[in-house]
Amino acid sequence: MKQLLVLAAAAATLFSAFSASAQTFPGSKPITFVVPFAAGGPTDRVARDLAEAMRKSMGGGANFVVENVNGAGGTIGANKAAKAAPDGHTLLLHHIGMAAAPSLYRKLQYKPLEDFEYLGMINEVPMTLIGKPQLEANTYRDLENYIRTNGGKLNIAHAGLGSASHLCGLMWQSAINAKEAMTTIPFGGTAPAMNALVGGQVDMMCDQTTNTTGQIEAGRVKAYAVTTTKPLSNKLLKDLPTLQEMGLKGFDLTIWHGLYAPKGTPPAILAQINTALKLALKDPDFIKKQEGLGAVLVTDKRVEPAAHKAFVTAEIAKLRPVIEAAGKFAD
């Protein structure tokens, strides 16, 4: 009987500690968004916009910090977040790389489905195939013909093995059945890669519209096609052909971003963060900022943790054969 009373007391203490931490969360300590790519890129953009919206949805009392931890296609940052203290003050903001990395890294330092608590999906973003200003090809047709025969003579920038830009490059080269793989040039994120492209140091890239819209509109890069089956709504880019229209049947790549906490973060804190995320996704400023860059905030059930996790689980399974089929372009 005595053991039972001791156990009950321990459970009550533990519960009150959890609920107390939830009551005081986030307290004075900032909430850190770990962004696994360089500052200024599309993932960083989503993080900074979301931080602003969540600061509001949490009543202005929460401070947010964005920490860029880049390298190895986002897996270094993801691993750092997985190993962080599960107290709600370190969250990972990541994209489709959560689902691509398991098929590209034999020894991943973390397990995407076991080592994280899922907090909800954030947005979906199309990608555009772009080239340096000096690239001879002016239309998608010119580009595809050139790559089919001269692929090996050109290079393509990306943000590391398993990044969205890497995934798009390997899927595209596989879909056009390029004779030989383009030389790939990895960067810490597509912000530095974009600088190299605009400067003519690299030839091509496939990147999210969050990062490419401004450069295309300013004429600093050439735009060839969109990776989604739906054309872009942006008035200047709405005539950009989709890869499907260009004959790549079934080519449909949409990048998505989600929010994650380390496994073991108290449920009450997870619920608080998810509630703040849902409110932030309805913030008119956030919606406007993202839509202006071609992204759409998620409004369906994937903002619920269970549906978010089910979606990523399905994406891992969907991408595995695609990555295996494109294996020779994987790097």
242: DSSP letter: B
Least spacing, CB of residue 165 vs ligand MLT, in Å: 3
Least spacing, CB of residue 112 vs ligand MLT, in Å: 15
- What does the chain come to in residues? 331
Between 255 and 270, CB nearer to ligand MLT = 255
Least spacing, CB of residue 208 vs ligand MLT, in Å: 5
Least spacing, CB of residue 280 vs ligand MLT, in Å: 19
Q: Are residues 322 and 136 in contact, defined by beta-carbon separation less than 8 angstroms? A: no
Strand intervals (E) in the chain: 31-35, 64-68, 90-94, 116-125, 127-131, 155-158, 183-186, 204-208, 222-226, 255-262, 296-297
Between 190 and 265, CB nearer to ligand MLT = 190
Between 62 and 127, CB nearer to ligand MLT = 127
Helices 190-198, 209-217: axis angle to 10 degrees equals 20
| Residues at the interface with ligand MLT (CB under 6 A) | 37-38, 41-43, 97, 158-159, 163-165, 189-191, 207-208
- Other Cβ atoms less than 10 A from the Cβ of 255: the count is 27
Q: How far apart are CA 263 and CA 291, in angstroms?
A: 32
Between 212 and 274, CB nearer to ligand MLT = 212
Least spacing, CB of residue 49 vs ligand MLT, in Å: 13
Least spacing, CB of residue 205 vs ligand MLT, in Å: 9
CA 292: distance to chain centroid? 18
Q: What is the DSSP string of 119-136?
A: EEEEEEE-EEEEE-TT-S
**Which residues contact residue 288 at a Cβ distance below 8 angstroms, ignoring those fewer than 6 apart?**
none
Least spacing, CB of residue 269 vs ligand MLT, in Å: 27
Between 108 and 270, CB nearer to ligand MLT = 108
Between 165 and 265, CB nearer to ligand MLT = 165
**Which position's Cβ is nearest ligand MLT?**
41
Between 57 and 228, CB nearer to ligand MLT = 228
Least spacing, CB of residue 76 vs ligand MLT, in Å: 13
Helix (H/G/I), strand (E/B), else coil: 72 = helix
Least spacing, CB of residue 275 vs ligand MLT, in Å: 26
Give, in order, the Cα–Cα distances in Å from 276 to each of 21, 148, 153, 185, 283: 17, 48, 49, 38, 11
**Which residues contact residue 187 at a Cβ distance below 8 angstroms, ignoring those fewer than 6 apart?**
38, 157, 158, 159, 160, 193, 196
Helix (H/G/I), strand (E/B), else coil: 117 = strand
Between 124 and 265, CB nearer to ligand MLT = 124
Give, in order, the Cα–Cα distances in Å from 321 to each of 48, 97, 103, 303: 33, 15, 9, 27
Between 49 and 272, CB nearer to ligand MLT = 49
Angle at 205 between CA 32 and CA 43, to 5 degrees: 10
